[in-house]
Amino acid sequence: MISQMAAFGCRASRNIMVIAALSCMPMLTGFAATLLVPDEYPTIQRAIDAASSGDLVEVDIGTYRENIVLSDGVDVQSIEAARTFLVALDDTLPVVEATDVADVLFAGFTITDSIDGVVVVGSSITLASNIFDSLTGSAITANIGLLSDINIINNVFRNNSVAVRRFITPVAVTNNIFTGNTVTITSDVNEPINPNFEVSYNCFFQNDDLNSGGADSGLGDNFQIGNPLFVDQAVSDFHLKEDSVCIDAGTGTDIIDDTVADMGAYGGDYADAIPFLVPEPTATDTSTTAPDMFNITLDWDANLAYLVTNDVTPGSYNVYYQRNQPGPPYNGSDAGNGTIESPVPVVSGTSYTLMDLQPGDTAAPGVPVLNSAGPQNNSVVLNWSAATGATGYQVHYGVTAVTENTLNVGNVTSYTVTGLENGTEYVFAVGALTQPVYYLAVTAVDNTPAGNESDYSPETSIAIGAPIVGMLSGELMAMPEEVVPYPDLPDKGCFVATAAFGADWVAEVQVLRDFRDHYLLTHEPGRAFVDWYYRHGPVAARYLDQHEVLKPLVRGALWPLVALAAFILGASVAVKVWVAFLLIMLVITLVGPRRLELIMNRYGGGV
């Protein structure tokens, strides 16, 4: 009845078209959607919760720490099993739970570092092209349920305590690889299920219960026994090497090469066709000077999956490169004197030389800005702003000209020039360098008609060609000088302000010094304070030098005095009198008139 009303609404006149469209919306819910993790949803569970029956949750590569609860009719599949990891957030729960759900596909994950992998109760579900690795409980547990219909197909079970635990009979185990498990397929001891029941076309290798001939050591029909020859289990690459007993040994058809299905995670209808990525290649500068040619030779380890490394029909590799810009899309075009564009196909071997590159086309770097030149004892600290396109910097300095000395200081924006003469004024400038840098990566391509290509290898880089020197910054002058106490007392102690601010030439110390000379030393109370300070200041300064952590606190305490001294030094006579009056009134308020009179009499003055 509702659908009839909706149809009527859709035939309504133009004046009520919006109402008609809204009435038609329930009819559109049958269209499946693809929900992307993590691009659209941060977690797999968030995407599942937002999905409707018939939707697909597609998961990008990465490690996901979750406990997932599957939803009715919502498929969950990764784009690459080898690099999409599921780890339990709460180990008291299974990584994946399916309870009373129907028509669900869960495929393409590596489930590891947990206790229990997948627990199914009363559900119809296909578990395909997954890798269950080193689970301390059960990789898959199929519990009793009226609607249970479980298809375990084309998975890898490696080093698990229990691979498959069945409490019900409608559990088909097909095209899987079992290796290194303590128990392969088991059931409830009180209601045992024949371990051969619905078990067919699986490969078994070095499982403890099968090696010992235990009670649950069923192999089923059309099985294979032998080393599956995984490419590299240590990095979760469970593709098969050439000569594996599991190649074309399953039932059904491989979606990757359209032959008889392989056993394991890379066979059958749900396998991802992406080859495993190549390890980081090695780049070598093989340039020649006669003739003058810039070359880079790239070497990499072979992808040993049989669809890439094949004696009869091998796959290939693509070499990607570009100059002065890391990361994809690697759109270099200057190899072969500008005739060889990235990517370069390599149909034989695992080495390739990019010849006759043109690094000289690199633009000159920008001009750095020399911000400061801070003198220290026999040295000067330089700080500058980064220049665009710079891969390194040179510091230029001298007594009469910056061209007298040149230092290559690397890709930094601060440098201390040492070995200078105290009391000698130097002039400094900074220049930027840019050396052409090539960024390179390799992909593997399988031998199928589709030419499935792996992700990029980890990037490598290499600098070749002569550095290009940019223009110099503006010049700054500085005179190194020894840090000494002021005044230079016989006990060689360093006064508190000098110790706190680091040198006697800094502005704060200069202000306090001028305040001493122009104000404190002009009257008896001031001279008495200076005398007391000369006796005790060096001791305090030495203590401060031995306890660096206190210097920021002392600087904080001195800054108000510096500000007051600077004000008094620069203010007019009228302002000074007014401030003095305010200070006197404040002192009278704080200490009282009688105590103030005693203090003034002590130093020979009066109010």
Q: Say whether pLDDT at 24 is over 50.
A: no
DSSP 35-79: EEETTT-SSHHHHHHH--TT-EEEE-SEEEE--EE--TT-EEEES
Among the listed residues 94, 199, 102, the one whose alpha carbon sits nearest the alpha carbon of residue 146: 102
Q: Say whether pLDDT at 218 is over 90.
A: no
Which two structure tokens, joined as six digits, stand for 283?
Answer: 């780049």
Q: What mean pLDDT comes out for the span 425-447? A: 95
Query: Can you give the pLDDT at residue 250?
Result: 96
Query: Can you give the pLDDT at residue 310?
Result: 86
Query: Can you give the pLDDT at residue 467?
Result: 86
Residue 604 binned pLDDT confidence (cut-offs 50, 70, 90): very low
Strands 118-121 and 138-143: parallel
Question: Cα(470)–Cα(36) distance, rounded to whole angstroms?
Answer: 46
Question: Cα(281)–Cα(508) distance, rounded to whole angstroms?
Answer: 56
Question: Cα(503)–Cα(482) distance, rounded to whole angstroms?
Answer: 9
Residue 562 binned pLDDT confidence (cut-offs 50, 70, 90): low
Residue 545 binned pLDDT confidence (cut-offs 50, 70, 90): low
Q: Which fold does the domain 282-361+438-464 belong to in CATH? A: Immunoglobulin-like (2.60.40)
Between helix 593-602 and helix 573-591 the angle, nearest 10°, is 120
Q: What mean pLDDT comes out for the span 446-463? A: 95
Residue 222 binned pLDDT confidence (cut-offs 50, 70, 90): very high
Q: What's the distance, CA 548 to chain centroid?
A: 35
In the chain, domain spans = 1-31, 33-240, 282-361+438-464, 369-436+470-478, 496-602
Cβ-proximal residues to 466 (8 Å cutoff; 6+ apart), any chain: 360, 435
Q: What mean pLDDT comes out for the span 92-121? A: 96
pLDDT, tens digit (0-9, with 9 covering 90-100), for 302-332: 999 999 998 889 999 999 999 988 999 999 9
Mean pLDDT check: name the lowest of 8-22, 438-452, 463-477.
Answer: 8-22
Between helix 507-518 and helix 551-570 the angle, nearest 10°, is 50
Q: What mean pLDDT comes out for the span 140-154? A: 82
pLDDT, tens digit (0-9, with 9 covering 90-100), for 479-537: 998 754 444 444 333 456 666 556 555 566 666 667 676 666 666 776 677 666 666 66
Query: Can you give the pLDDT at residue 601?
Result: 56
Q: Which amino acid is at 7?
A: A
Q: Say whether pLDDT at 8 is over 60.
A: no
> Matching CATH topology for 282-361+438-464 and 369-436+470-478?
yes
CB-CB contact of 425 with 480 (8 Å): no
User: Looking at domain 369-436+470-478, what is its CATH homologous superfamily?
Assistant: Immunoglobulins (2.60.40.10)
Report the run of H or E that residue 297 belongs to, with start and end: strand 292-299
Residue 237 binned pLDDT confidence (cut-offs 50, 70, 90): very high
Q: What's the distance, CA 379 to chain centroid?
A: 38
Question: Cα(216)–Cα(478) distance, rounded to whole angstroms?
Answer: 85
User: Looking at domain 33-240, what is its CATH homologous superfamily?
Assistant: Single-stranded right-handed beta-helix, Pectin lyase-like (2.160.20.10)
Q: What is the pTM (predicted TM-score) of this model?
A: 0.68
Q: Say whether pLDDT at 14 is over 50.
A: no
DSSP 362-416: PPPP---EEEEEEEETTEEEEEEEPPTT-SEEEEEEESS-GGGEEEEEES-SEEE
Query: Can you give the pLDDT at residue 435?
Result: 87
Strands 224-225 and 203-205: parallel
210-224, 448-462, 484-498: range with highest mean pLDDT: 448-462
Q: Say whether pLDDT at 276 is over 90.
A: yes
